[in-house]
């Protein structure tokens, strides 16, 4: 990862209901990227992945992994890929089922 | 249709209890995800993009009205008010919570349904001709044999840990409506010159990364020998199928590797050894199952041209497209399209499911079918009831007159839902359907199969579409590779790639261009696949890319 770093967040599915969640401070998992932990370096990312692994083995979440995140003009974190945008917002063909991630 | 007995009911209820305990142990951590995953897959529960997805088995696509209401209830209680009918005649729910899954399975068990073996390396839902039992061109009801194979394959102790998934399809008609050639095993029931009933057995079909058409390994297998013979095919596969590489683990790879003659020899040698003779179905069991598929007591009716066709052009359109001849005079097969132009292919709301259940009770002896093209069927409609049925369907948004036409698109859930996908398929289907319906091309083109898959796993059957689209990722953006000339029926064929992939912005125009070429060049009303066979890809490439070479991909 370069210094002009891609930011990383950690995402997973919550074990109980499969909901898409993101690692926030204090080991909490939230259904929004807003206020979630963002890694600016490889070391930070590795530390977050360690927390995520612990959460998986503690049966909070399933299958955590790191995703690329960018900051939009309003300073809000957004997923860099379409796939992750769909995971956060819901199916593009059913806007009524999505989350308001404004 | 088949009715559960006490043994069947005990089986599904015990399975629910077993899974409830497994879920409880997973939630408390006594089972790890690694331990739990194969267990949840054997009950059809996947972890997908947004949540857990539950795939419920609809054996050979046949449902009672009560069962369809049960599915609607599950959509309401445990999901978000809708379900998706799939290319294997099943239904999928996209928003199931793990902690609710045992209750959802219990609700299924109450209506004699389950999610057993809808995932995992086992024999999956046996699929069949959606017109079985009512089609004019059928030798006998194919579902009798689909049910026999279903019972044989359910919890089969020897075949529960196959190298990979295994899909079997059965048809008993002259016209293959079950896509036999793209299955691991396809069974075509027919009568030979001595009027004996038997199966042409085909093996080694499949789509995905390495699409193959099934090869005939037995020209005629007497029906009484079906189960022992299937045992031998599965034993050979189980023994020799690869387990080192999931992309090379299907039976199609084995048939390719050995060659069809050597594969056949292995099967016939195992069969001749007679170890499987004990599995032959007793005649009285065949009779018992066959009796369940006795046709309804159709009141005798005269042949009737549905009234109101002249007065109501919309009804006339629907009859032309969606009503299929029935083998009993005075009756018809009605196709309920789940492909409203601009809608989501194969999806039905809980309200729509309840409406179809009511209509099935009123007009179809309480029976519904699911097709592998993601539509529903009412198989036993009196011709005199078609107008009232159509009016009711119209009220529920279920009367699109497009069966088998360009807007009757098969589309997998794609990147909107599926964690395996590279690209979205549903919006592509929507834009194409809107364009072709609006411009009148759909009407002109007639029967035309457009099939869209969001990834190489090909759940949208793109390889066997007249026009197939495969979603890929190109430079971080969605793109669509087009194939032409595929066919899932008796003249089965895999489509050929035309050239470089189209962007999401280009693909609708590209499909329209292909249809323009087809309309200009077809003769005698031939299907697009036949036109491609006759004139090749050149004329299509020329119009799509301005060159015969199919366009070069930019680096």
Beta-carbon pairs below 8 A across chains A and B: 70
Residues of A in contact with B430 (CB under 8 A): 93
d(CA B471, CA B453): 6
Q: Which of A16, A59, A63 sits opposite B29 (nearest CB)?
A: A59
**Which homologous superfamily is B135-292 in?**
Sulfite Reductase Hemoprotein, domain 1 (3.30.413.10)
Residues of A in contact with B427 (CB under 8 A): 92-93
Q: Which of A16, A57, A83 sits opposite B27 (nearest CB)?
A: A16
Cβ distance of B416 and A92 shorter than 8 Å: yes
A95 lies within 8 A of chain B by CB = no
Collect the ranges in chain A with pLDDT lower than 50: 1-4, 102
Q: Sign of dihedral through CA atoms B32, B35, B37, B40?
A: negative
Residues of A in contact with B47 (CB under 8 A): 13, 18, 62-63
Mean pLDDT of all residues belonging to chain B: 96
Treating both helix axes as pointing N-terminal to C-terminal, what angle do B507-521 and B426-438 enclose, rounded to 10 degrees?
A: 40
Residues of B in contact with A92 (CB under 8 A): 416, 424, 427
A87 lies within 8 A of chain B by CB = yes
Residues of A in contact with B26 (CB under 8 A): 15, 59
- Which residues 409-438 in chain B show a CB within 8 A of chain A? 415-417, 421, 424, 426-427, 430
Closest residue on chain B to A11 (Cα): B49
Q: Sign of dihedral through CA atoms B174, B177, B178, B180?
A: positive
d(CA B176, CA B530): 17
Give the pLDDT of residue A99: 72
Cβ distance of A15 and B28 shorter than 8 Å: no
B478 lies within 8 A of chain A by CB = yes
d(CA B359, CA B328): 20
Give the pLDDT of residue B550: 56
Residues 6+ apart with CB under 8 A from A86: A92, B49, B415, B416, B424
Q: Which of A58, A59, A93 sits opposite B416 (nearest CB)?
A: A93
Give the pLDDT of residue A4: 43
Mean pLDDT, to the nearest integer, of B376-380?
98
Find tokens 């959606």 and name the residue. B130
d(CA B291, CA B287): 6
| C-beta separation of B27 from B99 below 8 A | yes
Model ipTM value: 0.93
Which DSSP letter does residue B497 get?
E
Residues 6+ apart with CB under 8 A from B196: B222
Q: Hey, where are the domains in chain B?
A: 6-110, 135-292, 313-395, 410-545
Cβ distance of A17 and B29 shorter than 8 Å: no
Mean pLDDT, to the nearest integer, of B68-97?
98
The reply to whether domains B6-110 and B313-395 share a CATH topology is no
Cβ distance of A83 and B80 shorter than 8 Å: no
B339 lies within 8 A of chain A by CB = no
Residues 6+ apart with CB under 8 A from B337: B322, B375, B398, B399, B400, B401, B402, B403, B408
Cβ distance of B416 and A87 shorter than 8 Å: no
Higher pLDDT, B17 or B548: B17
Give the pLDDT of residue A101: 54
Residue B496 has pLDDT above 80, yes or no: yes
| C-beta separation of B473 from B482 below 8 A | no
CATH architecture classification, B6-110: Alpha-Beta Complex (3.90)
Q: Sign of dihedral through CA atoms B164, B165, B169, B175?
A: negative
A85 lies within 8 A of chain B by CB = no
Cβ distance of B98 and A18 shorter than 8 Å: yes
Residue B552 has pLDDT above 60, yes or no: no
- Which residues 37-76 in chain A show a CB within 8 A of chain B? 56-59, 62-63
pTM above 0.90, yes or no: yes
Class of domain B313-395: alpha beta
Cβ distance of B51 and A62 shorter than 8 Å: no
Fold type of domain B410-545: Sulfite Reductase Hemoprotein; domain 1 (3.30.413)
Residue B210 has pLDDT above 50, yes or no: yes
* Residue B377: closest CA among B324, B346, B320, B334: B334
Flag the least confident range among B22-31, B169-178, B187-196, B274-283: B274-283
Residue B209 has pLDDT above 70, yes or no: yes
B51 lies within 8 A of chain A by CB = yes
Residues of A in contact with B416 (CB under 8 A): 86, 91-94
Residues of A in contact with B29 (CB under 8 A): 58-59
| Residue of A15, A80, A88 for testing the chain B interface, max B β-carbons within 10 Å | A15
A27 lies within 8 A of chain B by CB = no
| C-beta separation of B465 from B459 below 8 A | no
Residue B136 has pLDDT above 60, yes or no: yes
Cβ distance of B98 and A58 shorter than 8 Å: no
Mean pLDDT, to the nearest integer, of B41-47?
94
Q: Sign of dihedral through CA atoms A51, A55, A57, A63?
A: negative
| C-beta separation of B211 from B463 below 8 A | yes
Give the pLDDT of residue A3: 39
Cβ distance of B415 and A59 shorter than 8 Å: no
Give the pLDDT of residue A100: 57
Output the six-digit token pair for B452: 């869209």
Q: Sign of dihedral through CA atoms B241, B244, B249, B252?
A: negative
Mean pLDDT, to the nearest integer, of B51-74?
98
B97 lies within 8 A of chain A by CB = yes
| Residue of B49, B412, B423, B431 for testing the chain A interface, max A β-carbons within 10 Å | B49
Residue B498 has pLDDT above 80, yes or no: yes
Find tokens 């290319």 and name the residue. B87
d(CA B217, CA B232): 12
């Amino acid at each position: 990862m370069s210094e002009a770093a891609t930011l990383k967040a950690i995402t997973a599915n919550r074990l109980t209901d499969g909901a898409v969640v993101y690692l926030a401070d204090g080991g909490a998992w939230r259904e929004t990227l807003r206020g979630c932990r963002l890694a600016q370096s490889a070391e930070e990312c590795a530390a977050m992945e360690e927390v995520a692994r612990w959460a998986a083995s503690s049966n909070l979440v399933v299958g955590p992994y790191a995703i690329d995140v960018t900051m939009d003009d309003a300073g809000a974190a957004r997923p860099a890929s379409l796939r992750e945008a769909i995971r956060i917002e819901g199916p593009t063909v059913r806007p009524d089922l999505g989350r308001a991630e404004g | 249709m088949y009715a559960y007995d006490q043994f069947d009911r005990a089986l599904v209820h015990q399975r629910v209890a077993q899974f409830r305990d497994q879920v409880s142990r997973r939630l408390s951590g006594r089972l790890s995800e690694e331990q739990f995953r194969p267990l949840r897959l054997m009950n059809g529960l996947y972890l997908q993009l947004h949540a857990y997805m539950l795939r419920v088995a609809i054996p050979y696509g046949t449902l009672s009205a009560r069962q369809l209401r049960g599915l609607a209830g599950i959509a309401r209680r445990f999901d978000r008010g809708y379900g998706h009918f799939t290319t294997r005649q099943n239904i999928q729910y996209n928003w199931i919570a793990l902690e609710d899954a045992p209750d959802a399975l219990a609700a299924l068990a109450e209506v004699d349904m389950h999610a057993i073996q809808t995932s995992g390396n086992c024999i999956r839902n046996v699929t069949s001709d959606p017109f079985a039992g009512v089609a004019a061109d059928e030798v006998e009801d194919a579902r009798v044999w689909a049910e026999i194979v279903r019972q044989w394959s359910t919890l089969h102790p020897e075949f529960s840990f196959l190298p990979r998934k295994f899909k079997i399809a059965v048809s008993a008609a002259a016209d293959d409506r079950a896509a036999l050639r793209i299955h691991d095993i396809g069974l075509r029931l027919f009568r030979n010159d001595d009027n004996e009933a038997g199966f042409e057995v085909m093996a080694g079909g499949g789509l995905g990364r390495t699409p193959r058409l099934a090869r005939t390994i037995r020209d005629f297998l007497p029906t009484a020998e079906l189960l022992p013979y299937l045992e031998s095919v599965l034993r050979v596969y189980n023994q020799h199928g690869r387990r080192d590489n999931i992309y090379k683990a299907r039976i199609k790879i084995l048939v390719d590797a050995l060659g069809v003659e050597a594969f056949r020899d292995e099967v016939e040698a195992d069969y001749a050894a007679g170890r499987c003779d004990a599995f032959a179905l007793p005649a009285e069991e065949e009779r018992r199952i066959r009796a369940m598929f006795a046709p309804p007591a159709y009141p005798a009716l005269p042949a009737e041209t549905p009234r109101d066709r002249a007065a109501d052009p919309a009804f006339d359109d629907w009859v032309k497209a969606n009503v299929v001849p029935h083998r009993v005079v005075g009756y018809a097969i009605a196709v309920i399209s789940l492909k409203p132009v601009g809608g989501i292919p194969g999806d039905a709301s809980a309200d729509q499911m309840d409406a179809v259940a009511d209509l099935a009770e009123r007009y179809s002896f309480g029976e519904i079918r699911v097709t592998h093209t993601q539509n529903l069927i009412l198989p036993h409609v009196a011709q005199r009831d078609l107008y009232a049925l159509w009016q009711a369907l119209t009220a529920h948004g279920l009367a699109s007159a497009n069966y088998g036409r360009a807007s009757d698109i098969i589309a997998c859930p794609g990147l909107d839902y599926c964690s395996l996908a590279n690209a979205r398929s549903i919006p592509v289907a929507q834009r194409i359907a809107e364009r072709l319906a609006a411009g009148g091309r759909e009407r002109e083109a007639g029967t035309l199969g457009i099939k869209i898959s969001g990834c190489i796993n090909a759940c949208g059957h793109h390889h066997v579409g007249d026009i197939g689209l495969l979603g890929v990722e190109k430079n971080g953006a969605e793109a669509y590779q087009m194939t032409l000339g595929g066919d899932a029926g008796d003249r089965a064929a895999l489509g050929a790639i035309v050239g470089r992939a189209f962007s999401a912005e280009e693909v609708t125009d590209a499909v329209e261009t292909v249809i323009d070429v087809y309309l200009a060049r077809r003769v005698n009303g031939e299907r697009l696949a036949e036109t491609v066979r006759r004139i090749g890809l050149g004329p299509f490439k020329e119009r799509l890319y301005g060159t015969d070479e199919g366009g070069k991909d930019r680096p």
